[in-house]
């Protein structure tokens, strides 16, 4: 007698996976006081949009502050709805049982001040004029991102930050947080980052800014909410996206594959899509303009360019002198935006300043964006750093 056919069990929705934080919701922190920027300018009150996963423990010291990169936001894990196509940007790293274990840690991630995903920035309404701040928003620095996030932690009554972690701009933010708030930060984990950009990185950012500001729709930064320099922003994003990857990864992903039907068209059609990499690039530009504000892009790239720990504190060693946290710095071999040497230099300077610091170099071919990759080597490294009680050897490669 044949067995009864069983209905195939439906695959578990991804947000219900055992190691997924599931459906999450952003919250808004409204700071009511006057906030003075590093520039000296001030605004009356600001909002940070943020998410938290896990629970604050009884001693309120199991917080893990996650800091996002230029185009990132507060949504670093989980899903906003069951219909979401993608989870938060670091969902592979954060969750119950994952490297950043939300059963143990209270994870906090906020969209940066100056951003455009719910936190106060150039696209927010200036209470004085009733119009978007635009370029009348005060210049934003990494320092302002740190200060505003510290106010959020105070609001959440966080007493201790078990770790502050981030890649790229998030790595800068994490380092500065550990410098400015040494008594509450126990560990700092910075990846694919630098203590100051090279001339080449500044140059790429400048081309992006020029593409935005030379777009007639920029209107000196006073474009309406439903308009703006979409073309310039797309150009800026396309170019920047190339710098986040690597020659090898683009070759592996696209090579010289051409698009079906792209023949020897004449006229302006001769410059239509021919190669798959072009199609991907245009898609990157188009999807970015639907989610990012051009003035925010100007402000945040300026914050990146002007971040310079050695300049701000006299030397790297002086910058790191107050740090009490133990540090892990991770560089990626194929990262040519903030190359391995710049990451190694951070750990070396921390060591020279008498701190506990390790440097690990991961062999990847994904370029700068490697810190977002799915990599057991990275997960093991992060898990080890967050769980262990001992420091390990200084410099190693995986």
Annotated active-site positions, please?
Answer: 168, 335, 368
- Alpha-carbon dihedral angle through residues 351, 357, 360, 366, given to the nearest 10 degrees: -100
128 binds a copy of itself (CB under 8 A): no
- Burial tier of 392 (Cβ tally within 10 Å: 0-12, 13-18, 19+): exposed
- C-alpha 19, offset from chain centre: 22
Which helix (DSSP H) or strand (DSSP E) does residue 143 occupy? helix 142-155
290 binds a copy of itself (CB under 8 A): no
Site for a copy of itself in 94-123 (CB under 8 A): none
Size of the chain in residues:
398
* Binding-residue total with a copy of itself (CB under 8 A): 61
Q: Determine if 278 is a binding residue for a copy of itself (CB under 8 A).
A: yes
281 binds a copy of itself (CB under 8 A): yes
CB closer to a copy of itself, 281 vs 382: 281
Of 15, 74, 143, 302, the one binding a copy of itself (CB under 8 A) is 302
State the nearest-atom distance from the C-beta of 121 to a copy of itself, in Å: 14
Dihedral angle over CA of 32, 38, 40, 41, nearest 10: -50
**282 contributes a contact to a copy of itself by CB under 8 A:** yes
For every residue of 319-351, DSSP letters joined together read HHTT--SEEEEEEETT-SSS-HHHHHHHHHHHH
| Long-range CB pairs of 129-137, under 8 A, 24+ apart, other chains included | 131/222, 132/224, 132/225, 134/221, 134/222, 134/223, 134/295, 135/220, 135/221, 135/222, 135/295, 135/298, 136/221, 137/43, 137/295, 137/299
Determine, following the binding rule CB under 8 A, whether residue 256 of this chain makes contact with a copy of itself: yes
Is 136 near a copy of itself (CB under 8 A)? yes
Residue 388 binding a copy of itself, by CB under 8 A: no
DSSP 283-325: HHHHHHHTT--HHHHHHHHHHHHH-BHHHHHSSHHHHHTT--S
State yes or no: residue 2 binds a copy of itself (CB under 8 A): no
For helices 230-244 and 276-289, give the axis angle rounded to 10 degrees. 120
| Cβ nearer to a copy of itself, comparing 231 with 360 | 231
Of the residues 19, 80, 96, 254, which one makes contact with a copy of itself according to CB under 8 A: 254
Which residues are bridge partners to 47 per DSSP? 30
Q: Taking the complex as a whole, how short is the minimal distance between the CB of residue 106 and a copy of itself, in angstroms?
A: 36
Q: Give the C-alpha separation, 26 to 137, whole Å.
A: 24
211 forms part of the interface with a copy of itself (CB under 8 A): yes
Q: Which of 214, 287, 380, 391 is the binder for a copy of itself (CB under 8 A)?
A: 214
- Determine the Cα–Cα distance for residues 141 and 44; give it in Å rounded to an integer: 18
Query: Could you say which residues in the range 142-201 bind a copy of itself, by CB under 8 A?
Result: 196-200
Q: Is residue 306 a contact point for a copy of itself (CB under 8 A)? A: yes
Q: Which two tokens stand for residue 302?
A: 């300026």
239 binds a copy of itself (CB under 8 A): yes
Tell whether residue 235 is a contact of a copy of itself (CB under 8 A).
yes
**Shortest Cβ distance from residue 166 to a copy of itself (Å)?**
22
Burial class (CB in 10 A: 0-12, 13-18, 19+), 148: buried
- Asked if 275 is part of the footprint of a copy of itself (rule: CB under 8 A), the reply reads yes
| Residue 23 interacting with a copy of itself (CB under 8 A) | no
Q: Which residues bind a copy of itself (CB under 8 A)?
A: 39-41, 135-136, 138-139, 196-200, 202-204, 206-207, 209-211, 213-214, 216, 220-221, 231, 234-235, 238-239, 242, 245-247, 250-251, 253-256, 264, 266-268, 270-271, 274-275, 277-278, 281-282, 285, 298, 302, 305-306, 308, 311, 336, 339
């Amino acid at each position: 007698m044949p067995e009864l056919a069983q209905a195939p069990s439906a695959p578990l929705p991804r947000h219900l996976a055992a190691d997924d934080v599931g459906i999450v919701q952003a919250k808004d922190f409204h700071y009511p006081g006057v906030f003075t920027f590093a520039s000296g300018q001030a605004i009356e009150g600001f909002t940070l949009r943020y998410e938290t996963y896990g629970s604050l423990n009884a001693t309120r010291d199991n917080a893990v502050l996650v800091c996002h990169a230029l185009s990132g936001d507060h949504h670093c894990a989980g899903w906003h709805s069951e219909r979401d196509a993608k989870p938060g940007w670091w969902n592979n790293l954060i969750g119950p049982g994952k490297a950043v274990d939300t059963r143990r840690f209270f994870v906090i991630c906020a969209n940066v001040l100056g951003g455009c995903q719910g936190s106060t920035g150039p696209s927010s309404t200036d209470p004085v004029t009733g119009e978007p701040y635009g370029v009348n928003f005060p210049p934003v620095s990494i320092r302002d991102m740190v200060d505003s996030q510290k106010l959020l932690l105070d609001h959440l009554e966080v007493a201790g930050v078990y770790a502050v972690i981030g890649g790229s701009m998030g790595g800068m933010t994490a380092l500065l947080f550990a410098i400015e708030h040494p008594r509450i930060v126990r560990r700092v984990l910075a990846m694919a980052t630098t203590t100051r950009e090279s001339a080449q990185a500044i140059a790429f950012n400048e081309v992006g800014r020029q593409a935005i500001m030379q777009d007639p729709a920029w209107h000196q930064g006073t474009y309406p909410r439903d308009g703006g320099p979409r073309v310039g922003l797309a150009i800026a994003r396309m170019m920047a996206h190339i710098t986040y990857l690597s020659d090898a990864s683009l070759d592996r992903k696209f090579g010289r594959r051409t698009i079906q039907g792209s023949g020897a068209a004449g006229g302006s059609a001769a410059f239509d899509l021919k190669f798959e990499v072009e199609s991907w690039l245009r898609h990157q530009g188009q999807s970015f303009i639907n989610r990012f504000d051009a003035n925010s892009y100007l402000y945040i790239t300026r914050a990146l360019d002007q971040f310079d720990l050695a300049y701000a504190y006299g030397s790297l060693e002086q910058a790191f002198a107050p740090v009490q946290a133990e540090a892990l710095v991770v560089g990626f071999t194929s990262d040519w935006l903030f190359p391995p040497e710049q990451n190694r230099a951070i750990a070396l300077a921390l060591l020279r300043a008498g701190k506990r610091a390790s440097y690990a170099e991961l062999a990847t071919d994904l370029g700068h964006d490697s810190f977002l990759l799915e990599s057991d080597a990275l997960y093991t490294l992060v898990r080890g750093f967050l769980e262990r009680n001992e420091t390990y050897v200084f410099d190693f490669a995986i």
